[in-house]
Amino acid sequence: MLPKRWHVHIVDLDPRIKSKPGKQRPCLVIQPSAFAEAGLESVVILPITSDLTRGDSFPLRVRLATGVCGLKRDSDIMVDQVLAWDLSLFREDLGAIPTDSQHAVSDALRDFLDL
């Protein structure tokens, strides 16, 4: 499976280490698809959690509503948890997030990384 940019995938993040999220969880692919197609063995992702933050947490979190990509609960994309993860640990493609969410994640990454 070649992960596509802006798609949510179930990814095996075990083992959990300190603040790094663990277990199999949904993650958003932010790396352009061309890199995976070129043969890179890792993909840059942002984990997604249903442990929601209160108030305005932009740029650290971007909210996804229940039902987006089959999510069973409102969830937050954890912009501050950028990971490069091995392709062999990707389990299932849940589809692309809406365009407005893609823009929100791009804006959050620019703010968080001061680009």
Mind listing the pLDDT tens digit for each residue in 84-99?
999 999 999 999 999 9
pLDDT at 66: 97
In the chain, the domains with their CATH numbers are: 7-113 (2.30.30.110)
R_g of the chain computed on alpha carbons: 13
Neighbours of 61 (CB within 10 A): 21
∠ CA(109), CA(114), CA(115), 5° rounding? 75
Mind listing the pLDDT tens digit for each residue in 12-46?
998 666 656 668 999 999 999 888 888 888 999 99
- Please give the share of the chain, as a percent, with pLDDT higher than 70: 93
Per the CB < 8 A criterion, the answer to whether 111 and 59 are in contact is yes
Tokens of 90: 């990707």
Per the CB < 8 A criterion, the answer to whether 47 and 21 are in contact is yes
Q: Which residues pair with 24 in a beta bridge?
A: 12
